[in-house]
């Protein structure tokens, strides 16, 4: 039995959940609206102030999608009520980040600046304080989308293990490697 799939999802105040007969779940809240298509084998019911996700059989396929859809719906409920936020830190000499609206400009040590257009659902803010590394803050109600955007920004300059330079999440621990030791006899 899927432990995650069995847990009911609590619906906070101000959030409404609609489930259609075709298997579409719509979650509306103070921050926005999210829609998710659910596999026809999985049933989603709203019982009072809880959402219950059930599966028809104990086959391996049904077990795997049971926990998946429960997690996706839970992420939607959290997103429309609280939202998601990711902070990225640019570590390196001369690394800069600025934004104009939904366009993020990054200087990551290459010979050119990188301009990245972000989706409308993701709000971006770039801060640079004197003596500190630049920080890019992403906010959205869609957990999957904000994760994809953060991964794309991070892939532009991966953290290297020798000096620790690159784009990383705030608070992320980077495993450092020792450099060469030039000891000849």
- Here the CATH number for the domain that contains residue 68 is 3.90.930.12
Q: What is the pLDDT of residue 178?
A: 87
d(C-alpha 122, C-alpha 99), whole Å = 13
Residue 127 and residue 100 in one domain: yes
Using the predicted structure, report yes or no on whether residue 1 has a pLDDT greater than 50.
no
Query: What share of the chain has pLDDT > 90, as a percent?
Result: 72
44, part of any domain:
yes
pLDDT (mean) for 110-137: 92
Q: How many domains does the chain have?
A: 2
Residue 104 and residue 149 in one domain: yes
> Domain range holding 43?
3-81
Listed residue (47, 28, 46, 27) closest to 37, CA to CA: 27
For residue 167, count CB atoms less than 10 angstroms from its CB and return exposed for 0-12, middle for 13-18, buried for 19 or more: buried
Residue 13 and residue 57 in one domain: yes
Using the predicted structure, report yes or no on whether residue 9 has a pLDDT greater than 70.
yes
Residue 12 and residue 65 in one domain: yes
Q: Single out the residue in 81, 116, 138 at which a domain terminates.
A: 81
pLDDT (mean) for 152-171: 92
Q: Single out the residue in 81, 110, 127 at which a domain terminates.
A: 81
Q: State the chain's mean pLDDT as an integer.
A: 91
When pLDDT is cut at 50, 70 and 90, the band that residue 98 belongs to is very high
184, part of any domain:
no
Q: What is the pLDDT of residue 183?
A: 65
pLDDT (mean) for 21-25: 89
């Amino acid at each position: 039995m899927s432990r995650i799939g069995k847990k009911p999802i609590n619906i906070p105040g101000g959030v409404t959940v609609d489930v259609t007969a075709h298997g579409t779940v719509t979650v509306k809240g103070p921050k926005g609206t999210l829609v998710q298509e659910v596999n026809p084998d999985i049933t989603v019911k709203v019982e009072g102030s809880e959402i219950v996700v059930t599966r028809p059989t104990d086959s391996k396929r049904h077990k795997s999608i049971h926990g998946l859809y429960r997690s996706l719906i839970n992420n939607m409920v959290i997103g429309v009520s609280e939202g998601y936020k990711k902070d990225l830190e640019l570590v390196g000499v001369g690394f800069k980040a600025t934004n104009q609206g939904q366009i993020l400009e990054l200087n990551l040590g290459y010979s050119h600046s990188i301009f990245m257009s972000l989706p409308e659902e993701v709000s971006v803010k770039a801060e640079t304080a004197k003596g500190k590394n630049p920080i890019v803050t992403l906010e959205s109600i869609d957990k999957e989308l904000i994760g994809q955007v953060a991964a794309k920004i991070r892939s532009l300059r991966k953290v290297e293990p020798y000096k620790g330079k690159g784009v990383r999440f705030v608070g992320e621990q980077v495993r450092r490697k020792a450099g060469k030791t030039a000891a000849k006899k």
